[in-house]
Amino acid sequence: MASQKKLKILFVSAEVSPFAKTGGLADVAGSLPQALAVMGHDVRIAMPRYKFITHPTETRMDFPVLMGYRKETAIIREYYLDAFQGDVRKTVPVYFVDNYQYFDRDNLYCYYDECERFAFFCRAVIEMLPGLDFKPDIIHCNDWQTGPIPLLLKDIYGILPFYRDIASVFTVHNLHYQGNYPRECLGLLGLAEDYYNQDKLEFYGNVSYLKAGLLYADIINTVSKTYAREIQTPDYGEGMDGLLRSRAGDLYGIVNGIHYHEFNPATDPNIARNYDEKSIEGKRENKRAVQQAMKLPERDVPVIGLISRLVDQKGLDLVADSFAELMKYNIQIALLGSGDPYYEKFFTDMAQKYTDKTAAYIGFNARLAQQIYAGADIFLMPSRFEPCGLGQLISLRYGTIPVVRATGGLADTVTDYDENTGNGNGFVFHEYSSEAFMKTVLRAISIYNDRKDLWTRLVTSVMRMDFSWPASAAEYVKLYRAAIEKRLLHTTTVEGISRK
């Protein structure tokens, strides 16, 4: 059957774990392609080669990319990522797009010439394909850094036969980050001035890379069904809700999975003691280890973990407003995060004030993150909005019970625990208020303290849940096929050829 044909997929992302990561996008970009490869698809990844990526690569080619009136050299370096699930082993080629001027820098983002860096990246990704002799059926773009690709494919490169029927899917991992830049960046993308127009890329006086992806991709999706609904409303739409409503027929929600080999308490080399759902007492040693690592007294009290980018989205004002009250209880808080200087200072101050109850590590530390997931009892994610959220999925995998606000992917993956029936896998509140947050944290603490039997059963049951990739990866394949179908319809209509 034609629909059984294996697909050629190019997955494009500005961050991919294990090479470069600031948040959940990297986890998805590192693990979804592997799941697709295991299903038998020919999937390859493209990402920038940042300075700190030192994996051994093979140089495949270099070529000039026109950036306004200048030419910049793109060097394509290839690396092979092993993908495995059970006994199935596959290889996912990773194309690093290198340019010393744009990417040989200490950090991933937040530079003055961001629009230029990612205009270059998008164009280099498209232009490398004929030289690699790889013509994908689908280019899967992710977040604003890759937003121009669907547009460039259709309106610029699409005049060349090689590109004409390549379909695109654009995934929004976070609508808040939009890549909005002055109109001059149109020239860097090789686009004419008439793209500066409300019906095209203009967005409140800027050119929006995100809008390019939302408008021009054959299919768009986001990372949970609830967030897909939410972003069509003014409250969550970040100014794009009208556009998203106009594309509602092409907008889908697919919840993320997590990499079950990487995030596996039974084999995780980062934690003090490996354990699974049959040996959850192993969490106790991990609790002691995390207390030691974070210089908290080794006490048998509920340890509450918080691992997050420290930004408003994550509901940290609820945590801050409740902090003094929380500190009246016999608990410990282990926080790992970086971001907004206001929150970095707030949590550093709290750790200094409540030395025996709060520890804060300000920075990014993948190993410590695993230690907290394994050693904590409760995990906080009181987000204001949350496209999917991976923290709660990783914590569930490690038997650490999440306290979440019912929004986006948190609403789709965590259901409130019912002491009477034993149903549910976490503690959920709805209203965005510190009262609702505090009440829910206290409920979790009291069940932990007073109903050890129920708590043990809850930990065991959440560790048995399945949030691995295969089911969601199969949904993506359906989206790819729908996008290919749409693209084919479009290109054949353009040529006036009936498909029947």
Nearer to ligand ADP, 93 or 389 (CB): 389
Taking the complex as a whole, the smallest distance from the CB of residue 279 to ligand ADP amounts, in Å, to: 23
The nearer residue to ligand ADP, 343 or 448, going by C-beta atoms, is 343
Other Cβ atoms within 10 Å of 64 Cβ, number: 12
Token digits for 245?
């409503």
Query: Collapsing DSSP states into helix, strand and coil, what is residue 327?
Result: coil
Least Cα distance to 397 among 229, 261, 238 occurs for: 261
Nearer to ligand ADP, 13 or 57 (CB): 13
Q: Give the tokens for residue 211.
A: 């809008």
The span from the CA of 455 to the CA of 446, in Å, is 10
Q: Whose CB is nearest to ligand ADP? A: 24
Per-residue binder mask for ligand ADP (CB under 6 A), 326-345, x = binder: ----------xxx-------
Count of residues that bind ligand ADP according to CB under 6 A: 19
How near is the Cβ of 387 to ligand ADP at its closest, in Å?
7
Closest CA to 93 of 43, 39, 38: 43
List, in sequence order, every beta strand (DSSP E) within 185-276: 202-203, 206-208, 219-222, 251-253
What is the number of alpha carbons within 13 Å of residue 324 lying toward its C-beta?
1
Nearer to ligand ADP, 77 or 140 (CB): 140
Region 456-485 residues binding ligand ADP, contact defined as CB under 6 A: none
Please name the residue that has the structure tokens 């009208």: 242
Report 386-445 residues binding ligand ADP (CB under 6 A): 388-391, 394
**Between 28 and 39, whose beta carbon lies closer to ligand ADP?**
28
- Under the criterion CB under 6 A, does residue 307 sit at the interface with ligand ADP? yes
The site string for ligand ADP over 354-393 (x = CB under 6 A, - otherwise) reads ----------xxx--x------------------xxxx--
**C-alpha separations of 109 from 113, 121, 142, 174, 229 in Å:** 10, 13, 15, 15, 29
Element (DSSP H or E) covering residue 290: helix 282-293
Give the shortest CB-343-to-ligand ADP separation in angstroms.
12
Which one of 176, 261, 299, 309 is in contact with ligand ADP (CB under 6 A)?
309
Stretch that binds ligand ADP, among 120-128, 135-143, 302-310, 479-487 (CB under 6 A): 302-310
In the complex with ligand ADP, the residue whose CB is nearer, 24 or 302, is 24
Residue 163 contacts residue 34 (beta carbons within 8 Å): no
Tokens 């799941």 locate to 35
Q: Enumerate the β-bridge partners of residue 90.
A: 83
Q: What is the Cα–Cα distance from 335 to 243, expressed in whole angstroms?
A: 38
Measured from the CB atom, the residue of 166 and 362 that comes closer to ligand ADP is 362
Q: Would you say the C-alpha torsion 471, 473, 475, 478 has a positive or negative sign?
A: negative
Q: Rank residues 108 and 167 by Cβ distance to ligand ADP and give the closer one.
A: 108
In the complex, the smallest distance separating the C-beta of residue 335 from ligand ADP, rounded to whole angstroms, is: 9
Q: How many CB atoms lie within 10 A of CB 431?
A: 10
- Alpha helices (runs of H) in 451-496, residue ranges in sequence order: 452-463, 470-494
Site string for ligand ADP, 190-209 (x = CB under 6 A): --------------------
Q: How far is CA 480 from CA 7, 140, 338, 354, 382, in A?
A: 9, 8, 35, 51, 33
Q: How far is the CB of 429 from ligand ADP (least distance, A)?
A: 18
The minimum distance between CB 53 and ligand ADP, in angstroms, equals 17
DSSP SS3 for 135: coil
Mask of contacts with ligand ADP, 16-55, x by CB under 6 A? -------xxx-x----------------------------
Distance CA 420, CA 164 (A): 58
Of the listed pieces 67-75, 149-157, 303-311, 444-452, which binds ligand ADP according to CB under 6 A?
A: 303-311
- Please say which residue, 215 or 390, places its beta carbon nearer to ligand ADP: 390
Q: Which is nearer to ligand ADP, 188 or 254 (CB)?
A: 254
For ligand ADP, the binding residues (CB under 6 A) are: 23-25, 27, 307-309, 336-338, 364-366, 369, 388-391, 394
